[in-house]
A and B are shown apart, each in its own frame.
Chain A
Amino acid sequence: MTEQDLSDDKFTYQTATFRALGHVFAVRTNDPQVGRLFDELYAACAVEGAPESWYSVLADGPDPGGRSLYFDDEYIAYVEKPNWLLGYVAWRINHEVIARSSGYVLVHAAAASLRDIGIVIPGAPEAGKTTLVAGLVRAGFSYLTDEATAIVPSTLRIEPYPKPLSIDPGSWSVLADLQPSPGDAGGYFDHQWSVPPTSIRTDAVGSAVPPRLFVFPQYRPNAPTSCSPMPRSEILVELLRQTFGVHDHGRHSLEVLAAAVRESRGYRMTVGDLNEAVEAVRGLIEAPEGGEADAAGR
């Protein structure tokens, strides 16, 4: 199951071409159910033209749900059960996006928008980025990404990377209405929900916007939801800590992020309740600059 002849005749299904920032790819498989799943999940990333890279998923091996994964000609892994497949491929897609998107400043952050105002939600894994952005989209905000926020240096706008939202079991209870209805593909979502943004709202995907609000969440169960304004210097430091490839592009990242932060405000948010957090973000957008919620934090 490591070396395989990946000639075209092995595959009965090829997805559309998807563009995820600098990564242009498609999925091919001998399992049409898998193919249809990827087409549905990544529909918001679909573009015209041929892919530059292929993810190949082969139903083979001794396990009924077992799948061998390849990236171009490189064997990646064999997954014994379907519930690992989507997460594995999504992880590899994210990895390739980061490697191939050096033209952007990429921050480990979710992002949404409202009325041409970009809201960036940075944080390490498990900080609550995806949960908060899912809540925002459910409440009417536009979806930009839940993983890597790409700032275009020349325009300082966020370019959308509308991948499916990856929702972990810890957030299933507060996002129960987003549970996938996969029909006979249920086994793929046992471990993590992959939710295409258009299943939340058909018009959920946003377009490029300037970042104007940075929200650094920390989930504390049952704590009152609250926001503390941050000095812009502190916002910038925290963004650098969440910038992919900062060791290779540190000076450039500093310059671009500083330019974005100068036009923005930022807050640390303790999140005890998702709905309260969503309303708190809405309130921050509508708070006037220099009012109580001033970002200077002094």
Chain B
Amino acid sequence: MLQADDIDMTFVGRVRPDVAAEILDGEAVLYHEGNNTVHMLSPTATILWECLDGAVDLDTLVGELSAAYQVDREQMLRDVVAAVQDFGRRGLLVGVRADADVVASSALDPASPGERP
């Protein structure tokens, strides 16, 4: 199992199948069924999330994205690696060990109708 901090440009990212996603106004809301956490992604992170299909490594992905968005490649690579490491810490990626503290901070506590009188 890879540590999130070890993710680099050679990493091939794939989102976990037990993470459900809904996108509203370009921002993704993710619900992780395995650990009952919820995550909200920025528009940029959402675009990246949608690209993590296990097909290419981050270097190749950045090449495609930087050309499409006309952004400096090296800067984008740094930003993408950082973002994917964050996904990894949150437990959202196949083969990457989650960070327990990060997961705990995203935990979804079950709603309760109130205490028994």
A and B associate in one complex: yes
Whole-angstrom CA separation of A241 from B111 in the bound complex: 6
B contact residues, total (Cβ < 8 Å): 23
Known: A84-B117, A91-B117, A237-B29. A255 touches B22 (CB 8 A): yes
A254 with B36: CB separation less than 8 A: no
Q: State which size class the interface on A falls in.
A: 35 or more
Q: How far is the CA of A124 from the CA of B115 in the complex (A)?
A: 11
Q: Which A residues lie within 8 Å of B24 (CB)? A: 231-233, 236, 258, 261-262
A231 touches B25 (CB 8 A): yes
Do A233 and B31 touch across chains, with their CB atoms under 8 A apart?
Answer: no
Is A87's CB within 8 Å of the partner chain B?
A: yes
Q: Is the CB of A258 within 8 A of B110?
A: no
| B42 nearest CB neighbor, chain A only | A233
The main secondary structure of chain A at its interface with chain B is helix
Give the Cβ gap from A296 to chain B, nearest Cβ, in Å: 6
How far apart sit A147 and B114, CA to CA, in the bound complex (Å)? 10
Say yes or no for B109: interface residue by CB 8 A criterion. Answer: yes
Which of chain A's residues has its CB closest to B113's CB?
Answer: A94
Contact of B29 among A124, A147, A236 (CB under 8 A): A236
CB distance from A169 to the nearest CB of B (A): 14
Q: Known contacts A108-B111, A233-B41; can you find 10 more A-B pairs with CB under 8 A?
A: A91-B114, A108-B112, A125-B113, A148-B113, A231-B27, A232-B25, A232-B27, A233-B28, A243-B111, A244-B110
